[in-house]
A and B are shown apart, each in its own frame.
Chain A
Amino acid sequence: MIRHLLSTRDLSRTSAIALLDTAEDMAALGARENKKLPALRGKTIVNLFYEDSTRTRISFEVAQKRLSADVINFSARGSSVSKGESLKDTILTLRELGVDGVVIRHPSSGAPQLLAERDWIDVPVVNAGDGTHEHPTQALLDAFTLRKEVSGDDSRGRGLDGARVVIVGDVFHSRVARSNIWLLEHLGARVTVVAPATLIPSGAERWPITVSYDLDAALSEPVDAVMMLRVQSERMREAFFPNAHEYAQGWGLTEERFARLAPSTLIMHPGPMNRGLEICSAAADSSQSVILQQVANGVFVRMAVLYSILTGTSEVSHE
């Protein structure tokens, strides 16, 4: 099994399916009265959040507590980081305090990789979102949600072969999109990315995707899932599109587009949603929307990830 989870790009199809299958077992626990498992008893995990987060941080914390791990929550705000402490010094401090695993979210792409590669600390690292690079547990929970909807109870051991997924919106700033593109490729799905040309990063032509600038054209073919991305205004330091209204008309899942969508097409969004901008409320709250299932499944997938990388001897688990 893998030692760290830094990106979905270096996750093999076999490892990815094994994680999704383990998540199925974790999901089965959700139904019972006592939801806790003793697997990570005595392990201390620190959630190192250098960026704001609601669902990812809480989801990781719930997953850790369900596995009986001890949890330390660290956010850059209100810590010595605001006094100028470097990532290295923070990590060295945590090492001396004796942590067994690090979950990190950082505004700089590659920060989790740095922790995994440097000799600052020798524990498994989980990327909970780094800059505009990757957000692997989000992609895993998206794949889990999709697989469950497509294959139902028969989903174990399966990929997403032949599934057609359209990813729409701010791909330029989206680590969710990057992680999804690689994972969906490993699992055999076909991905179309739709965005205004200004929000397609250079280099996208080397990704295993079809790029389109026309959402209506992309949605005119049968689609298993449409994944709306959040417009990341906080990362936009220049004008990527004229105004919100024009964006919604061109690339939002408006009521008109939602009405034309086949009833079997799933609507996904990693949250938090900008209602009225990339997605209308009618679509977000419809029965086709699996946005809340995504949140629920996030816990199961993160339990699977934490269980997989924090149990087992480290000598054997080095890939």
Chain B
Amino acid sequence: MTANTVMQSADVARAVTRIAHEILESNRGSDNLVLLGIPTRGVTLAARIAAAIFEIDGATVPLGSLDVTMYRDDLHDNPMREPAPTTVPVDIDQATVVLVDDVLYSGRTVRAALDALTDLGRPDIVRLAVLIDRGHRELPIRADYVGKNLPSSPGERINVCFVETDDVDAVDIDRGGSS
């Protein structure tokens, strides 16, 4: 097994700050914004982005988590997944919701998130922010804000680590194969 670190703590911090700037730029400020992270690491990333927006703009953006487990299209092909909590602090009707996840891959998680969102209300605009876009989309979905494009092969594993859950901020690419 070989693992390469492709982003270190400072790279992650810069990417988060840039995403925060881009969100504020395209939204023309922080009005009406709601950040919804997809558990587990999307929630952490969303909190980081919210903190960065506060640094830049001084605004506290509503922050929540949106669990998509029950909306997945592969519930019957994999071992049972335990759902995670969904907490949406404000009414999302007419809001600009930014979905946040750590890695964008097939796009199926985001598809499930869009379904979950529809059950919660009708935002005016839904955007997608991810730390890593690794390609290999299976659905017509793209991210609006990307920390880093990371071309990968399907056999590789991308591990996003945050201090909150993994004791370190880093992104590793695990090439698999022999050790």
Residues in A lying within 8 Å of B, measured CB to CB? 1, 18, 21-22, 24-25, 28, 32, 34, 36-39, 67, 307-308, 311-313, 316-317
B66 vs chain A, min Cβ distance (A):
12
B86 interface residue per 8 A CB criterion: yes
Question: Which of B5-13, B41-49, B75-83, B148-156 participates in binding chain A?
Answer: B75-83
* A-B contact sample (10 more), CB < 8 A, given A21-B82, A37-B119: A22-B82, A25-B67, A36-B119, A38-B70, A39-B71, A307-B80, A308-B80, A311-B80, A312-B75, A317-B80
Considering the chains assembled together, what is the distance between the CA atoms of A308 and B70 in angstroms?
11
A39 touches B75 (CB 8 A): yes
Residues of B within 8 A of A32 (CB): 119-120
In the assembled complex, B115 has its CB within 8 A of some CB on chain A: yes
Q: Is the interface of B mostly helix, strand, loop or mixed?
A: loop
Q: Given the complex of chains A and B, what is the CA–CA distance between A28 and B67 in angstroms?
A: 12
Q: Given A22-B82, A28-B86, do A307 and B70 touch, yes or no (CB 8 Å)? A: yes
What are 13 of the A-B contact pairs (CB < 8 Å)? A18-B82, A21-B82, A28-B85, A37-B71, A39-B75, A67-B70, A307-B70, A307-B83, A311-B76, A311-B81, A312-B75, A312-B76, A316-B78
With both chains docked as a complex, state the minimum distance between the C-beta of B125 and any C-beta of chain A, in angstroms.
Answer: 20
Q: A34-B119, A39-B75 are in contact. Are A24 and B80 (CB under 8 A)?
A: no
A37 to B76, CA, bound (A): 15
> Is there a chain A Cβ closer than 8 Å to B84's Cβ?
yes
The reply to whether A313 and B77 form a contact with Cβ atoms under 8 Å apart is yes
Q: Nearest Cβ in chain A — how far from B70, in angstroms?
A: 4
What B residues does A311 contact at CB under 8 A?
75-76, 80-81
Q: Which of A38, A308, A316 is in CB contact (< 8 Å) with B71? A: A38
Chain A, residue nearest B73 (CB): A38
Q: Which of B76, B78, B80, B83 contacts A25 (CB 8 A)?
A: B83
Q: A18-B82, A25-B86 are in contact. Are A38 and B77 (CB under 8 A)?
A: no
Which A-chain residue is minimally distant from B112 (CB atoms)? Answer: A38
What residues of chain A lie closer than 8 Å to B84, measured between beta carbons? 25
Give the most central of B71, B75, B79, B80: most A CB within 10 Å.
B80
Q: Which residues does chain B contribute within 8 Å of A18, judged by CB atoms?
A: 82
Please give the distance in Å from A126's CB to the nearest CB on chain B.
15
Closest partner residue, chain A, to B76 (CB atom) = A311
Give chain A residues whose Cβ lies under 8 Å from the Cβ of B83.
22, 25, 307
Q: How far does the Cβ of A294 sit from chain B's closest Cβ, in whole Å?
A: 23
Contact in complex: A37, B82 (CB < 8 Å):
no
Across the interface, name the chain A residue whose C-beta is closest to B75: A311
**Chain B contacts of A313 at CB under 8 A?**
76-79
| Measured CA separation A21–B80 after assembly (Å) | 14
- Among residues of A, the one whose C-beta sits closest to the C-beta of B79 is A316
> Across the interface, which residues of B come within 8 angstroms of A67, CB to CB?
70
Chain B residues with CB below 8 A from A39, complex form = 69-71, 75
CA distance A23 to B70 in the complex (A): 13
Known interface pairs A28-B85, A32-B120. Does A37 touch B70 (Cβ–Cβ under 8 Å)?
Answer: yes
Q: A36-B119, A38-B70, A307-B70 are in contact. Are A24 and B79 (CB under 8 A)?
A: no
Chain B residue nearest to A19 (CB atoms) is: B82
Q: Complex: how many Å from CA A38 to CA B70?
A: 7
Bound complex: CA A41 to CA B125 (Å): 28
